[in-house]
Amino acid sequence: MKFNTKTRYGVRTILEIALSSSSDGIYQKDIAKNQEISVRYLDHIIAALKTAGLISTVRGKKSGYILTRKPEEISLYDIHSAFEPGINIVDCLAVHKGCQKELTCASKFYWDELNHLIKQYLKSKTIADLVSKHDTLNQ
């Protein structure tokens, strides 16, 4: 299983916003520079995060981006959901995917259990956890 680039960059973007101490938020160019993401690609990341209601623009002459909730209220799953409709480690777990062996496939139940564990893990990890890890690594 591999998370797509938008999800990974979305996590980095949210982390950068959470680390900002300015009441005006952090500017897109600063996020791009600090996280080494092109401004053009970051446009797509920011648009998805705004649509998901995870960040907003601070209005004013010098407007930046801020979180819409406290870091401990935003999970990695929330960020993932801004870019992907769900987590399905195998195709047969997707809602609209049918399989002729669905009711008799023993392996599907194991994949489903693993899928559930991954979702629970992502839901249990918050931006506050990432900020704490960042601070520990950058002392």
List pLDDT tens digits, range 110-136: 888 998 999 999 999 999 999 999 999
Gap between the Cα atoms of 24 and 27, Å rounded: 9
pLDDT, residue 91, reads: 73
* Whether residue 61 has pLDDT greater than 70: no
Gap between the Cα atoms of 56 and 46, Å rounded: 9
Domain residues for the domain of 48 are 5-137
Judge whether 37 and 13 are in contact, CB under 8 Å: yes
pLDDT, residue 90, reads: 79
Q: How many domains does the chain have?
A: 1
Average pLDDT over residues 18-45: 92
CATH code of residue 74: 1.10.10.10
* Whether residue 97 has pLDDT greater than 70: no
List pLDDT tens digits, range 63-77: 799 999 999 999 999
